Copies of this chain bind each other. A is one copy, B any other.
Amino acid sequence: MTEPKSCCCCQREDLPWSGRGATLDISGCRFSLYPMDSDFVSIILGALEKTDTSAVWSQSDALSTVYRGKLPYVVDAVEGLFINAFREGVHMALECQFSKGCPGDCDGDSFLGWEGEAPNAAVVAGAHFPVLCKIALYPMGVPDYIDHIAKVWHMAEDAGLQPTSIHYATRLTGDVQDVFRYLESVCRLMEQSVPHYILHCTLSVNSPTQE
C-alpha cells in the first residue's frame, strides 16, 4: 500500500493515516488557477510569487496549491492570489475548495502564528471587478445538512449576490470583494455549525459567454 504523503478524510484503522485529526484551528483551501491564455504559466507563477503567503502554510503540486492556517489569512491569500492573477480581458477561472474539520486532518502542514492585518489587505482593498461564481457546500456527517445549505442560500441573498439555483450548485454574481467576504462568512458559519465542511467554489472573470 502506498503511504499517503499527508492526511485525508479517513480515520479507519486499516489505513495508514488512521487515528489522526487536527486539534488546532486549521482552515485550508486547495485551489487551481486556470487562465485561458497561452501565457498561462507566467500568469500563474507570477500570481503565486506576488502573493504574500507569510500568514499561511503553502504547498503546490502539478494540479493545485493548498494554503493552510487561520481562516481570515487563508481567505486573504487566496483572494490576493486571484487578484494578482487578474488581467484585463483574459478569461480566467479559480476552482477552490475551502475546508475545516476533516477527521483525518493533522496538526502539521499549517501555520497559525500570524496576528493582525492580513498580508494582502492592501492589494485586496484596491481591487474591484465583477465575478461570476458557483458554489456547492457540503456539511459532512450530519443528517440536517440541507438546513445549513438553505441558510447559506439566504445569506447570499442578503449579501446582494443574486443567488440562483442550478443543478448541483448555486450561482452567484458580484464584485470580487463581496464574493470573497461572502465565502469567508460561509466558512465562518460552517466552522461554528458542523464538525466538518467543504465549500467548493468556481470564480470566473472575463468570460466571453453572453447569457
Residues of chain B within 8 A (CB-CB) of A103 are 146
Tell me if A167 and B6 are in contact (CB < 8 A).
Answer: yes
Q: Quote the shortest CB–CB distance from A189 to chain B (angstroms).
A: 16
Q: Is A136 an interface residue (CB 8 A)?
A: yes
Instruction: State which residues 46-60 of A face B: CB under 8 Å.
Output: 59
Q: Is A192 an interface residue (CB 8 A)?
A: no
Residue in B93, B99, B169 whose CB lies within 8 Å of A168: B99
Q: Quote the shortest CB–CB distance from A33 to chain B (angstroms).
A: 10
Tell me if B157 and A1 are in contact (CB < 8 A).
Answer: yes
Q: Is A86 an interface residue (CB 8 A)?
A: no
Residues of chain B within 8 A (CB-CB) of A169 are 8, 30, 64, 97
Known: A37-B36, A204-B62. A168 touches B15 (CB 8 A): no
Residues of chain B within 8 A (CB-CB) of A136 are 9, 97, 198
Tell me if A40 and B91 are in contact (CB < 8 A).
Answer: yes
Number of identical monomers bound together in the oligomeric complex: 2
Tell me if A134 and B64 are in contact (CB < 8 A).
Answer: yes
Q: Quote the shortest CB–CB distance from A162 to chain B (angstroms).
A: 6
Q: Which listed segment binds B: A77-85, A117-125, A147-155, A175-183?
A: A147-155
Q: Is A143 an interface residue (CB 8 A)?
A: yes
Residues of chain B within 8 A (CB-CB) of A36 are 34-38, 40
Q: How far is the CA of A10 from the CA of B38 in the complex (A)?
A: 40
Residues of chain B within 8 A (CB-CB) of A14 are 150
Residue in B5, B11, B202 whose CB lies within 8 Å of A165: B5
Instruction: State which residues 127-172 of A face B: CB under 8 Å.
Output: 132-134, 136, 138, 140-143, 145-147, 149-150, 153, 157, 162-171
Interface of A with B (CB < 8 Å)?
1-2, 4-12, 14-15, 17, 28, 30, 32, 34-41, 59, 61-64, 66, 68, 91, 93, 95, 97, 99, 102-105, 109, 132-134, 136, 138, 140-143, 145-147, 149-150, 153, 157, 162-171, 198, 200, 202, 204, 207-211
